[in-house]
Amino acid sequence: MLTKRIIPCLDIKNGRTVKGVNFLNLRDAGDPVELAAIYAAEGADELVFLDISATEEKRKTLSDLVRKVAEKVDIPFTVGGGIASVEDVEILLQNGADKVSINSSAVKRPELIDELSKRFGSQCVVVAVDARQLEGQWLVHLVGGKEPTEIPLYEWVKEAEQRGAGEILFTSMDHDGTKNGFANEALARISELVNIPVIASGGAGEMQHFADAFLKGKADAALAASVFHFKEIRLVELKHFLKTQDIAVRL
Catalytic residue among 130, 176, 212, 220: 130
Distance (Å, whole) CA 80 – CA 92: 9
Closest CA to 94 of 54, 63, 57, 132: 63
Beta-sheet pairing, 147-152 with 167-172 = unpaired
Closest CA to 168 of 219, 111, 104: 219
Contacts of 155 (CB under 8 A, 6+ apart): none
Give 91's Cβ-side CA count (13 Å radius).
Answer: 15
Is residue 168 within 8 Å of residue 193, measured between CB atoms? no
Tally of CB atoms within 10 A around 117: 18
Phi-psi region of 71 (alpha: psi -120 to 50; beta: other; left: phi over 0): alpha
State yes or no: is 212 an active-site residue: no
Percent of the chain that is helix, strand, coil (3-state, to 5): 35, 30, 35
CA separation, residue 58 to residues 78, 83, 114, 197, 247 (Å): 20, 10, 22, 29, 41
Identify residue 94 by its one-letter amino acid code. Q
The residues assigned a catalytic role are 11, 130
